[in-house]
């Protein structure tokens, strides 16, 4: 097996669509000769021209020197058929997601290349072991899952199947590094790491909207402003395409024996069935024109009354006292009651404290409170109480998002679920805790990896949110992982390995 660091290393790419073109580009820019094979007549040459044009644009932007660009373009070669892949030291398959087509392709690659040539699939959802069945030398077969657009997305998942050799994993990690990517080694499993890990963020957003707790625009605004996610879950689904994320959600759900933690909701299926796929269709959770979003519904609550002159604390809470002082809101013996629960809903706060639920307004102070505050009330609450509290908050320059009753508000639920799924991936050995965090940040642009998010929430608080939500809803979806529970109970860092 040849060391990918050697200057004369040769890569083959089978399938010259969008993903294949990206893999070709990072290969030649990494200094490697690259053979391009595509089933469509003229497809390989068309890919070479497009990649060359992209490299030229990098020169125009000053990101690549002219000499380096010409050298990179010169390293692209057309393969007329599989036999032309004979010089390759590694071949990456990047054809469409159909298992029989991939097996046939792998068998033809193996027949054409030498005995030490690595063979990798860029599949995003098909188990590598099932593709490797077509090969005689399965130890050299693995996954090499890139993310679109490949030249911009630094992550590559190196997928170790049951029979993949250690030498193959090591070599593909080196190859990924030479391509300028950051490799993370992942166990062969449904959705691998990033697609599996991303289920919690989107499916919990869907569940909250399905319950009528908040609208997609409200959920997205909360996750952007209070938790620093670059995109809310509904914006993200519209970008990737509901025609993509709904089937992937079903594949992963079934692959994990229908674990409730990753179950999607009927509103997801309804969008898929209606063909409302997001940006590409002009309409998804939001509307688009020319791929650009049109005006979206406001996530801000417009208070109709004057700010409350004072509020009453439902129970002692130093964080809530400090917040009221920060916005200039007095705490006294009159006015609406306010609370800042962790994991509870307004109904349970009212029952537990004996306070009249009509006068209670719950505020989520667990995330960033400098731009937006989530306010929550129980059923049949007095709207004037919400108006007075919201007006006082708005006076401080903050936006208010008013939601219906929900254990853990919106942000607490979504962050705790994301953290819990990350802990589950660590628990089953999908990857190391640090690699899980790295992959989720690079692959999905999360502000923190899921285990780091648990640390940021506080392991004990993350556990409390899940346990409260589990108890209130009665759903196994919210059951905490043993990984999180044990580390929280023992006071250990969430990244602590066994």
pLDDT in tens, 459-495: 999 999 999 999 999 999 999 999 999 999 999 999 9
Q: Name beta bridge partners: 376.
A: 362, 403
Residue 174: pLDDT band (50, 70, 90) is very high
Cite the DSSP H helix spans in 356-427: 383-395, 411-427
Residue 497 among the catalytic residues: no
Mean pLDDT of all residues in 298-302 = 97
What is the pLDDT at residue 44?
A: 97
Residue 305: pLDDT band (50, 70, 90) is confident
Residue 319 among the catalytic residues: no
Nearest to 368 by CA among 323, 308, 311, 302: 323
Per cent of the chain over pLDDT 70 is: 100
pLDDT above 90 (res 350) = yes
Catalytic residue among 93, 145, 235, 265: 145
Question: What is the tens place of the pLDDT at every residue in 140-172?
Answer: 999 999 999 999 999 999 999 999 999 999 999
Is 310-403 a domain of CATH 3.40.50.150? no
pLDDT above 90 (res 125) = no
pLDDT above 90 (res 358) = yes
**How far is 365 from 363, CA to CA, in rounded Å?**
6
pLDDT above 90 (res 498) = no
The mean predicted confidence, pLDDT, of the chain is 97
CB atoms within 10 A of CB 482: 11
Token duo for residue 283: 């309409």
Helical (H) or strand (E) element with 119: strand 118-121
Nearest to 423 by CA among 445, 453, 447, 446: 453
- For 457, residues 6+ apart whose C-beta sits below 8 A from its C-beta are 366, 415, 416, 419, 465
**How far is 446 from 201, CA to CA, in rounded Å?**
10
Token duo for residue 426: 């660590």
What is the pLDDT at residue 130?
A: 96
Is 10-188 a domain of CATH 3.20.20.70? no
Mean pLDDT of all residues in 233-262 = 95
Catalytic residue among 27, 122, 124, 189: 124
Residue 195 among the catalytic residues: yes
Catalytic residue among 27, 121, 122, 157: 157
Question: What is the tens place of the pLDDT at every residue in 382-420?
Answer: 999 999 999 999 999 999 999 999 999 999 999 999 999
CA torsion sign, 71 to 72 to 73 to 75? positive
What is the pLDDT at residue 469?
A: 98
Residues of the chain with CATH 3.40.50.720: 10-188, 310-403
Catalytic residue among 27, 122, 189, 195: 195
Per cent of the chain over pLDDT 90 is: 99
**Domain at 192-298+413-449+465-498: CATH architecture:** Orthogonal Bundle (1.10)
| pTM, full prediction | 0.94
Structure letter (DSSP) for residue 366 = S
Question: What is the tens place of the pLDDT at every residue in 45-74?
Answer: 999 999 999 999 999 999 999 999 999 999
Token duo for residue 194: 């990033």
Residues of the chain with CATH 1.10.1040.50: 192-298+413-449+465-498
Residue 124 among the catalytic residues: yes
CB atoms within 10 A of CB 50: 15
What is the pLDDT at residue 147?
A: 95
For 163-195, the DSSP string reads T--HHHHHHHHHHHHHTT-EEEEEES-TTTTHH
């Amino acid at each position: 097996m040849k060391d990918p660091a050697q200057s004369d290393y040769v890569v083959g790419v089978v399938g010259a669509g969008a993903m294949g073109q990206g893999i070709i580009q990072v290969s030649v820019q990494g200094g490697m000769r690259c053979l391009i094979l595509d089933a469509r007549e003229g497809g390989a040459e068309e890919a070479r021209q497009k990649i060359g044009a992209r490299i030229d644009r990098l020169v125009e932007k000053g990101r690549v020197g002219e000499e380096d660009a010409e050298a990179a373009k010169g390293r692209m070669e057309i393969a007329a058929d599989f036999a032309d892949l004979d010089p390759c030291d590694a071949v990456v398959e990047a054809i469409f997601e159909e298992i029989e087509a991939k097996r046939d392709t792998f068998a033809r690659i193996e027949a054409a290349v030498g005995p030490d040539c690595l063979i990798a699939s860029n599949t995003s959802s098909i188990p590598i072991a099932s593709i490797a069945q077509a090969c005689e030398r399965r130890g050299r077969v693995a996954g090499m899952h890139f993310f679109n657009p490949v030249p911009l997305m630094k992550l590559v998942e190196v997928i170790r199947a049951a029979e993949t050799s250690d030498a193959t994993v090591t070599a593909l990690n080196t190859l990924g590094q030479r391509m300028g990517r950051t490799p993370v080694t992942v166990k062969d499993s449904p959705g691998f790491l990033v697609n599996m890990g991303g289920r919690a963020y989107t499916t919990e957003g869907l569940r909250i909207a399905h319950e009528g707790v908040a609208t997609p625009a409200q959920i997205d605004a909360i996750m952007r402003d209070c938790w620093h996610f670059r995109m809310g879950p509904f914006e993200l689904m519209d970008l990737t395409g509901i025609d993509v994320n709904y089937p992937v959600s079903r594949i992963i759900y079934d692959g994990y024996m229908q674990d409730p933690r990753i179950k999607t909701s009927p509103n997801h299926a309804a969008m898929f069935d209606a063909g409302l796929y997001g940006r590409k269709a002009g309409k998804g959770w939001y509307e688009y024109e020319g791929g650009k979003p049109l005006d979206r519904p406001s996530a801000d609550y417009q208070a109709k009354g004057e700010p409350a002159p004072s509020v009453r604390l439902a129970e002692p809470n130093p964080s809530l006292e400090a917040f009221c002082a920060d916005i200039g809101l007095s705490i006294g013996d009159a006015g609406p009651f306010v609370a800042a629960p962790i994991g509870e809903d307004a109904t349970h706060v009212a029952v537990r404290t004996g306070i009249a639920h009509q006068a209670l307004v719950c505020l989520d102070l667990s995330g960033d409170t400098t731009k937006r505050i989530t306010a929550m009330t129980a059923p049949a609450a007095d709207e004037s109480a919400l108006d007075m509290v919201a007006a006082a908050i708005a006076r401080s320059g903050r936006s208010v998002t008013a939601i219906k009753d929900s254990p853990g508000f919106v942000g607490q639920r979504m962050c705790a679920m994301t953290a819990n799924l990350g802990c589950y991936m660590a628990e089953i050995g999908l990857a190391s805790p640090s690699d899980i965090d790295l992959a989720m940040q690079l692959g999905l642009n999360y502000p923190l990896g899921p285990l780091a998010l648990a640390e940021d929430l506080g392991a004990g608080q993350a556990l409390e949110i899940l346990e409260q939500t589990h108890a209130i809803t009665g759903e196994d979806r919210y059951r905490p992982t043993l990984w999180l529970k044990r580390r929280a109970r023992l006071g250990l860092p969430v990244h602590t390995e066994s």
